[in-house]
Structure formats: structure tokens, C-alpha cells
Amino acid sequence: MIRVRQGDDDAFREIVAKYHARVHTFLRHMLGNEQSAEDLTQETFLRMHRSRVRYRARCRFGSWLFTIANNLALNRLRDEFGSARMPLPTTESGSLPMTHSTPRASPPEPVDRGMERAEVVATVRAALNALNENQRAAIVLSKFEEMSYEEIGKVLDLSPQAVKSLINRAKVRLKTLLAGVLDMIQPRPIEGNEEYFDD
Amino acid sequence: MTDTPAFPEEDKRSEAPSGDQPTESAPEWLTAFLDGETSGQEKQNAKKALQESSDIRRVAQEIQRVEDLLDFLPLTGSPRAKIGETAGLVLEQSSSQPVVVEGDHSLEERADLSKRTEVPLTRFDPIYEATSLWPKRVRGWLIAVLLGALGAGLVLPGWRSFEDNRAKELGKIRGVVDNFQILHDSGDLDFLRAIDVPELFGQPESIVSQ
């Protein structure tokens, strides 16, 4: 980013190559709309490039970039739905292309083979869309960007404690919304606490 | 179910449950623990609660299942062509637009740029100051000149009137001095009045006769 600040176009291309898919994924989940996500991904990089002089090395670049993306997403949601506080419409269920740009553990297979994977994806997406925009952003940043509560707080302009509450509420809400499909997932040992898993 | 583990005071609302009541909602500390966001005593307390409470373990597993279900949401890939296209478009558009400089937060402010956001920009941004301060100074000078002119207009007539009155007074004094001996000899108040305002009382006979 230091090189980008100095006007190095090749360095900028490297940043786009590294972050394009991640920003696009974030916006895709925030907006629930592929076309809007593509538009805003480009807009995010345009704004980042125009504000490059203002970037400070002490600020984590990812947090800065996702702050821009999140703000653009909130504006778009307000333009389209009047209020970004509202959940997204759950009618859209078009599946995302199943191409992973970054290595990630394979999603677990549903226990109930009778339910198609596409159905599970649609159900989970509908549940995610039912969250308000802050909850949705926190979950997506935590899950897909593996950001810490502190980093998420920087993006959303919240304290780590507020992020803690936000993510907790979001997960409780998702638990309720996904109650019908929770049993499809095989229980696994509790992370960091394997010795106590006995149910 | 056994004892409720001790948790920090500030986390009372999310204390581990006690008794045999089923836990429908997850406490914040449990979610944070599963996210790897706990350390030290809080982490130990969470482990203890999980060890002692089957309800807590059940809720923890439900949350983990939610996490697993989120893994079904695919990540999107970005074809190399798309990346190149985006970078090219951005560089092209960016070259035709000014680079945002220090003090301009317009690209990063919270969503919805409102008047409330624009006011601080115009107030603190050096660029805005550079364009807006000079007209203010010129306006200030104009106001000062106008006030000066207005003040002069009010003061000059008063000054002239003051000068006239002072000349009259000096004339009277001079008359008194010139006629001191006469005044001294007369001892007549009417005469004195006549000297003081001669146009009203006319020239006293005694003076005329002398």
C-alpha cells in the first residue's frame, strides 16, 4: 500500500488481485445481489485508490478497505430499501458460483442426504439476509475474513465489547432461523474444549 | 448442573446459567469463547462452565452447527480477467479525478453523507479554508470601512457644532474681560444679563452713555 500511495500502478494491481474476491464476497453477502456486489467492488477499489494518500501504515489495510466497502454497501442498501437497518428481502435465492478463491475447509456434508446442497445454501442465505446490516457484516467479516472482534469493530466503528454483543445476538438469531436444518449437521467437539465433549 | 462459575461483574447479563432450566439463548462469553476471543480467567471460566453444564455444552454445539451451516455459503472467485478489468477501470477513472487529500474524509465517512458530515469538512479542511477564508477577510474589511464612514458622518456635524458653541463662549468671556471694569462698577444684575445675552436685552443705557 505504501507503493500504491506513491503512485505505483503495478502495486495497485497486486492489491486488486489479492482483495478482489474477498471484497466481492463480502459485498455479495451484504447486498444479496450479484450485480450490485460487482458494481460496488469496483467502486470500493476506486475510492481506495483515490484516497490512497490518506492511508496510514499503522492502520491495518484490510480494515480500511472493508470499511470503505461496508459504507458503500450501507449507502446502497439505503438507496434500494430506504433503510439499511432492515433485513434484505429473502426472495432471492440465486446460488453463488461455487468457486473458492482462498483455501478453506470443505463445508460439512449434510447428514440428511435427502436435502439438496442448493436448498441448504438457500436456507442459510435467507437466514443471513434476515439479519440487520451490522449483524450481517459482523458475521461475514468474522466468518469469511476471520477478523477479530477488534478488527470488526474498526470496520463497523464499534467497540470490541459491542461487537461481542452484536455477534452473539446474530448467532442466536441465526440459531433460531436455522433451527429446522441444524440437525442436519453432525455435532463436533467444541473447539478448544475437546475433553469436555461427551454428549 | 453444578455451581455457576464466577464471571467478571461487567458480564453479568451473560452469566453461565444455573439450575436445570434449558438454555435457549447463548451467553456472550460462550460465543466469544467459541470464536477464540477469550483469554485468561474468562477462558478458564468458559471451560469450567462447559465441563459442568450439559446445557451450556448443548448451546455451544448449536452455535457450532450454525457456524458449520455458514460454511455452506460459497466464497466467490474472481477470474483474472475480471481483476485486470477492475484495476484498469479504476486506474483510468482515478486518473481523471483529483486525489483525495488530507482532511477529506468524504470517501470513508459513515455511509449517508449528511449536512452534519459536510459542515466539519468545510470547517476544518485546509482546502475549504483556503477558498472560503479570503472572502471572509474582504467582507470584514468592507464592514470596517463602512462602519468608519458611518461614524465619521455622525461625528463631524457634532464636532462642528461643538466648535461653534466654543467660539460663542469664548466671545462671551472675552466680552466679560473687556468690560470687567464696567461690570465691576455697575453691580447691576440686569446689566450683567444684558452683557451675557445682548441680543435679547439690548445694549444697556449706562454703557451707551459712557
The three cell numbers locating residue A149:
472482534
Contact residues on chain B for A12, CB-CB shorter than 8 A: 87, 90-91
pLDDT tens digits, one per residue of A30-41: 998 888 899 899
**Inside any domain, residue A51:** yes
Mention every residue, 6+ apart, whose C-beta is less than 8 A from residue B204.
B188, B190, B191, B194, B195
CA dist., res. A140 & res. A170, Å (int): 11
Domain that holds residue A30: 2-90+113-186
Please indicate if any CB of chain B lies within 8 Å of the CB of A159. Answer: no
CATH number (domain holding residue A162): 1.20.140.160
DSSP state of A8: -
Distance from CA of A87 to the nearest CA of B (A): 17
**Inside any domain, residue A21:** yes
Contact residues on chain A for B75, CB-CB shorter than 8 A: 21, 25, 99-102, 104, 144
Contact A175 B63 (CB under 8 A): yes
**Inside any domain, residue A81:** yes
Contact A178 B57 (CB under 8 A): no
Contact A49 B82 (CB under 8 A): no
Please report the DSSP string for B55-114 in residue order.
Answer: HHHHHHHHHHHHHHHHTTSPPPP--HHHHHHHHHHHHHHHHTSPPP-TT--TTTS-SS--
Contact A12 B87 (CB under 8 A): yes
Split into its structural domains, chain A has a count of 1
**Is B103:A53 a contact under the CB 8 Å cutoff?**
no
**Is B45:B6 a contact under the CB 8 Å cutoff?**
yes
Q: What is the pLDDT along chain A (199 residues), one digit of tens a residue?
A: 777 777 778 888 888 988 999 999 999 999 988 888 998 999 999 888 888 777 776 668 888 889 999 999 998 888 777 655 555 554 443 333 333 344 445 555 555 555 678 888 889 999 999 999 999 999 999 998 889 999 999 999 999 999 999 999 999 999 999 988 888 877 777 755 554 444 4
The three cell numbers locating residue B155:
461625528
**Inside any domain, residue A11:** yes
